[in-house]
Chains A and B, each alone.
Chain A
């Protein structure tokens, strides 16, 4: 389970975020560590570098995460001078996590993304790095240093499914590109995943709240990977998983409106900074409307959770009433804030 305050701080709905007095200001509370591992051949090296550059650019420009909070360990540090923190050796990566553990505050988000190739030898999975590889046990030991933070681990490598169970814990969102350590083909998951986070026009923001949650990015990437394999008439060789309830069992298709179980945390976590609504603090009417909006959304969530147990007509009637009121509130907020909401 994720610490309660963090959940509130990370609620995706803009109205709710604006209502949080403790919402982190720009650049605060988010720490990014990207590791691009052994590429094997120049094509992969170029792809890994491109996708990382795209992501980090979006983190800096759109998500307003300061460069000082972004660490990138690459196979060849000179490939992107000035951007790469160091070589992606096991020692450097684990050392960076150790260092980060001393910097973070309670409620911060730590985002760890592994891009590259993985392998499975015997019972042990590995993420391939120059020199010694990283194992799930290595990471699990370092991640235990972040007990009061939200830790997001995205292992986008082949055979990454074997990392899920060892890393799963309350307060963590674990995403792997494959279902098991036996899915060893090259993976494509990271490209649409990064596209979802970096490109506002990609269509990943399916709940239209103006931010792409990790659940939305995960679902977008899954769908794009499936579509890509289908268009090539190939058998799907990677089945990404998400686990955020700490049970060590990933879900292939966590629902968008998850309430409890996998997806219920990731749907509320975004790396976007909280931007206060212009004038909201000084407009008590807007503040009230925003609170009402939040309350209505929670009622919608609760109603959706009971959908299967209610008669269809009753569900639709209640839903429509709530959505109409939400629409009225939303319209009022937009009118008072100049349409910025």
Chain B
């Protein structure tokens, strides 16, 4: 959004104005007024209220003094007092009718508020434009869009045709009128901006203009300007509740965890701010804390029983708590207040989508669109959820319609841009047709031959374990650009995840989208497919921690090296007794309290699932998933399925995990969990000096490495051997096995080096260098099969090096596995080699060896088309002459 800001307007200018005000209160009305303004703007509310009250109740009171007092009462959450004060000062005074209406609105008396504004409009009060805008907003809130539009148009007409300049208050009203009409004519949003800017320039006595401006920026997806605007307010008044709420909404917009923190701050500043309670309810819903969300919504409704966003959050909470009666009651109340309340259903759609109920989200959005076909937000939500359900054309149509109506919606724009690319990507099928692969055009030929058989294997394996099959075909999208993957998932760039599962629609980063060693794309796929099973089996009602825990566990079950493992940071937190109990596991994912907690939560959740499976069997896991499908909660399912209370499970798991890691806990130092785990799954905290989780093992490994670097192989070996019993499973960065392997390699003992490397490569899914070295050493010692296996593992880390594929092809040819040799030769070609003629020729050779003369002849002809005099290829062509001919 392009912002046209008037020159010289900003926090600096405002501060200058304030600085010019007298430092201490005087008794004369003018000084008292100045002091009241300054105190109100800077958040010294008690002082400000006291001064405004004195002014408002004095004989020489101006109408504006009385209005300012009442508005400050409203701003500080004293709605009841505001109503009482307005009535006391003059229940029938037209000059106070507008502000009385505002007080009534704040306390949920909408009809009375509207009457007050109508009364103001019928009078000669000087704030009729404000009354008219308020009335317009009230009409809009109860679904009278036409009536609202007429009021807004009238405000614009009266204020823009008037000879005298509007006041600051009137400019705010003008901006608000433009903003509402902008829903039908987006160009009017710029007029709204200009009006708010003029209001700010007119030196208002409140921050209302800036707050409205910031909210407009947020609504129009302009995060940076919104943040700057709220910052300007908070620079003057750090306790301004609505500015703090704006900051929270901006943080939410950016996906930052601080949204919760700022909302709490807003409520500390004004405990009865309904918008803040409603927003907190939204955050609680997204954290899968449904009872807490319901409580926040109720807190908002206590202040204002007609608060529509709070009613939506209450309904969403009840819906997610499977409280059908509670949901219906909240819905009925909301629809009684506004029968055409598309936003209500859009809020429900958003809440459902955030809780992985994509079909329900789509259906709620659909209801919203039916109520109001011009609800661009609802259209965008319906489209987004259609895409998550794999209904690509339908989703695209909705998003295009939504973007035509709201061209400021960054999420919609990003997604449409992505779809423009996606449409050109080839779609391929797996052998048994249970998968559709939609992979970045540049990588489809390379990745499909690996992922297709793995997908079928994973499906069979998971179907056997869960005795369930999700809807097929499963659609897998693989993105060569992490930003594209992020847009597919959340509409914006910047998502930290590697993959996502919407059920039977999966999306993930391609290995080229990340740095080498960041992740293993095979295990990532297996993980996401695991979600397709657990989501499908539970009707998408499995809590996040259980679904993630099972997916990580499935990785480990699939391949020895795959999946998360204990790292020093995790053990340090365990030792410090800072791991979350099972009963609060979800918080580790949804509301992490330290930077690395979410990584720890993945691993811990997998251990909980492993513990449950080991102790109660896979049937218990299945029973819990079925229980979630039947809308039961974890507190209900733990005793029902496992036969223990949640507390007993917490305690039993705590004992189990401490026993499991008893040896390792002796050699790490306790840490409270402040470390960052790095972006990728292969990186450990010990890469950074001074990080948490050190202790005796870290010291020993560091000393061993120093010896090795000094060429003191014997000294290094002693230390590395000492380190192994401390933590035999440790195969992360700087591990003892790799150190010993290098020592053996340097000494010319390949067999011992291979043995040590195997200890790493069977435990670490991203051990790139170790696998390469193992492949070299095995090949050099004649173990071509083992060498090929090691190189094969590297392909799940980074398959983009043609030389590795060529090498692997040679090894497969040597051991007579011609079909894999052909696959590898095709991979070389998929990587676009400079020497394409040779690559085609080598493919032809492999195909010939595999007995596929027809394809071999085609390949050699392609080679000769590029290089007609290529002697070796000519010989092969002559040999293959007639192959495939009738």
Interface residues of A (CB under 8 A from B): 13-15, 203-209, 219-220, 223-224, 233, 256-257, 293, 296-297, 300, 304, 316, 319-320, 322-324, 326-328, 330-331, 334, 341
Determine the residue in chain B with the shortest Cβ distance to A316.
Answer: B861
Across the interface, do A209 and B834 meet the contact criterion of CB distance under 8 Å?
A: no
Across the interface, do A326 and B515 meet the contact criterion of CB distance under 8 Å?
A: no
Centre residue among B832, B869, B871 by max chain A CB count within 10 A: B869
Across the interface, do B868 and A297 meet the contact criterion of CB distance under 8 Å?
A: yes
Bound-state CA distance A237–B836 (Å) is 25
Across the interface, do B868 and A300 meet the contact criterion of CB distance under 8 Å?
A: yes
Across the interface, do A208 and B838 meet the contact criterion of CB distance under 8 Å?
A: yes
* Cβ distance B244 to chain A, nearest Cβ, rounded Å: 39
Known contacts: A319-B861, A331-B874, A331-B875. The answer to whether A326 contacts B869 by CB under 8 A is yes
Determine the residue in chain A with the shortest Cβ distance to B864.
Answer: A323
Bound-state CA distance A320–B861 (Å) is 7
* Cβ distance A159 to chain B, nearest Cβ, rounded Å: 26
Bound-state CA distance A223–B832 (Å) is 9
Across the interface, do A207 and B878 meet the contact criterion of CB distance under 8 Å?
A: no
B817-853 interface bits toward A, Cβ cutoff 8 Å, 1 = contact, 0 = none: 0000000000000001111111000000000000000
Bound-state CA distance A299–B875 (Å) is 20
Using Cβ atoms and an 8 Å threshold, which residues of chain B touch A322?
868
Using Cβ atoms and an 8 Å threshold, which residues of chain A touch B515?
233
Provide a sorted-by-A list of 11 A–B residue pairs whose CB atoms are within 8 angstroms: A13-B869, A15-B869, A204-B835, A205-B835, A206-B867, A207-B868, A256-B866, A323-B861, A327-B875, A328-B878, A334-B871
9 nearest A-B residue pairs (beta carbon): A208-B870, A327-B874, A208-B867, A203-B835, A207-B867, A323-B864, A223-B834, A330-B874, A327-B877
Please count the residue pairs between chain A and chain B whose beta carbons lie under 8 angstroms apart in the complex. 80
Using Cβ atoms and an 8 Å threshold, which residues of chain A touch B864?
323, 326-327
* Cβ distance B796 to chain A, nearest Cβ, rounded Å: 18
Other-chain contact of B867, A209, A233, A293, A341 (Cβ < 8 Å) = A209
Known contacts: A256-B866, A326-B874. The answer to whether A207 contacts B861 by CB under 8 A is no
Report whether over half of chain B's contact residues are helix, strand or loop; otherwise say mixed.
helix
Using Cβ atoms and an 8 Å threshold, which residues of chain A touch B873?
208
Known contacts: A204-B834, A208-B837, A208-B838. The answer to whether A323 contacts B871 by CB under 8 A is no
Across the interface, do B834 and A206 meet the contact criterion of CB distance under 8 Å?
A: yes
Bound-state CA distance A296–B865 (Å) is 12
Across the interface, do A208 and B871 meet the contact criterion of CB distance under 8 Å?
A: yes
Bound-state CA distance A319–B866 (Å) is 11
Known contacts: A323-B877, A324-B881. The answer to whether A207 contacts B866 by CB under 8 A is yes
* Cβ distance A295 to chain B, nearest Cβ, rounded Å: 12
Determine the residue in chain A with the shortest Cβ distance to B876.
Answer: A327
Determine the residue in chain B with the shortest Cβ distance to A256.
Answer: B866
Using Cβ atoms and an 8 Å threshold, which residues of chain A touch B838?
203, 206, 208
B522-556 interface bits toward A, Cβ cutoff 8 Å, 1 = contact, 0 = none: 00000000000000000000000000000000000
Across the interface, do A206 and B877 meet the contact criterion of CB distance under 8 Å?
A: no
Bound-state CA distance A209–B870 (Å) is 6
Across the interface, do B869 and A220 meet the contact criterion of CB distance under 8 Å?
A: no
Interface residues on B, range: 20 to 34
Other-chain contact of A293, B835, B869, B877 (Cβ < 8 Å) = B869
* Cβ distance B851 to chain A, nearest Cβ, rounded Å: 21
Determine the residue in chain B with the shortest Cβ distance to A216.
Answer: B834
Known contacts: A233-B515, A324-B877. The answer to whether A330 contacts B871 by CB under 8 A is yes
Known contacts: A323-B877, A328-B878. The answer to whether A206 contacts B837 by CB under 8 A is yes
Bound-state CA distance A204–B833 (Å) is 10
Bound-state CA distance A204–B875 (Å) is 21
Using Cβ atoms and an 8 Å threshold, which residues of chain A touch B878?
324, 327-328, 331
Centre residue among A208, A209, A297 by max chain B CB count within 10 A: A208
Using Cβ atoms and an 8 Å threshold, which residues of chain B touch A233?
515
Using Cβ atoms and an 8 Å threshold, which residues of chain B touch A293?
869
* Cβ distance A14 to chain B, nearest Cβ, rounded Å: 7
Using Cβ atoms and an 8 Å threshold, which residues of chain A touch B865?
300, 304, 319, 323
Bound-state CA distance A326–B861 (Å) is 12
Using Cβ atoms and an 8 Å threshold, which residues of chain B touch A220?
834
Across the interface, do B866 and A206 meet the contact criterion of CB distance under 8 Å?
A: yes
* Cβ distance B238 to chain A, nearest Cβ, rounded Å: 41
Bound-state CA distance A316–B865 (Å) is 10
* Cβ distance B324 to chain A, nearest Cβ, rounded Å: 51
Across the interface, do B834 and A207 meet the contact criterion of CB distance under 8 Å?
A: no
Centre residue among B835, B868, B871 by max chain A CB count within 10 A: B868
Using Cβ atoms and an 8 Å threshold, which residues of chain B touch A297?
868-869
Bound-state CA distance A331–B876 (Å) is 11
* Cβ distance A226 to chain B, nearest Cβ, rounded Å: 10
Across the interface, do A209 and B861 meet the contact criterion of CB distance under 8 Å?
A: no
Using Cβ atoms and an 8 Å threshold, which residues of chain B touch A206?
834-838, 866-867
Bound-state CA distance A158–B877 (Å) is 45
Beyond contacts A207-B867, A220-B834: 15 other A-B pairs, Cβ-Cβ < 8 A, are A13-B869, A204-B834, A204-B835, A207-B866, A208-B837, A223-B832, A316-B861, A320-B861, A323-B865, A323-B874, A326-B864, A326-B869, A327-B878, A331-B878, A341-B871
Using Cβ atoms and an 8 Å threshold, which residues of chain B touch A323?
861, 864-865, 868, 874, 877
